[in-house]
Each structure stands twice: as structure tokens, then as C-alpha cells.
Amino acid sequence: MKKLFIMLLLLLSIYASGCADSETKIVSSKNPDASEILALEKNADLFQWNNIVYKTDVDWVNDLKLSKEKQLGEITESYSEHLNEFKDGMATKLQKGSKIFTAKERDDILIVKDNGKVKYYLALVEG
């Protein structure tokens, strides 16, 4: 009986030590940046605000009925390929001075008034 107990204890310790060597893999993700989006879709209509990239021409977003809440700011710069960095307030298609508004109904969509035309932009975030 004592031998059986010792064998069980030995097997249990071998089994437990085998499990203890497993690696913990930490995976982190981040929001996509403008260069990643433009690499996939060269003519994407997007802008950056508060380090988040917003993109328009998303079918289900365009089908929504949203209303402007408050103005956040405006587009300050146009993007061109020779620039190394995409910054807040920069856009690929919107004109400088286009007004950016929050949407009353959703936190993940911003409304932009550009040349009299209203466009909805979805935040491109991980998660």
C-alpha cells in the first residue's frame, strides 16, 4: 500500500511539473493606424482625431440616421504620400476647414460637413 501511495505521489508530481512548464503568451493589439488602412485601401476616405482613425463609405453606417451633437473641431491638414506621419486633424479626402461633429446617437461615429455635404465616419478600433 505504501508503494502504491509513493507511485501515485510520484506520478502526480511528474504530471504537475509537466503542466508548470507551459508558456504564457501575451498578445496585445492596437488600433489600426492610417498607414495600415491606406496600405490595404489606397483611396480610402479617412481622417484622424484623438489618435483614432475614422473611415467613411461603410455601408451599414451610411444607412443610419444620425444627428449632430457638438462640434469637436475641423480638418487642419490634407494628407499626401510624401508625409511620414498621419496626424490628428489630417484627412485623405476632406478639405481643410471641414467641420467635425459628434453624433448624438452613437459614440463610435463622427459626422463631418464637407463642402455642404454630410458624411458619417466610423472609428476604426480594435476590440
**Residues 102 and 91 sit within 8 Å (Cβ to Cβ):** no
Structural Rg of the chain based on CA atoms? 26
3-class state of residue 77 by DSSP: strand
Set of cell numbers at residue 44: 480610402
pLDDT in tens, 68-86: 999 999 999 999 877 778 9
Of residues 86 and 1, more confidence is placed in 86
Query: pTM for this structure?
Result: 0.75
Instruction: Give the whole-angstrom CA distance, residue 115 versus residue 5.
Output: 83
Cell 508625409 sits on residue: 83
Q: Determine the 3-state secondary structure of 40 from DSSP.
A: helix
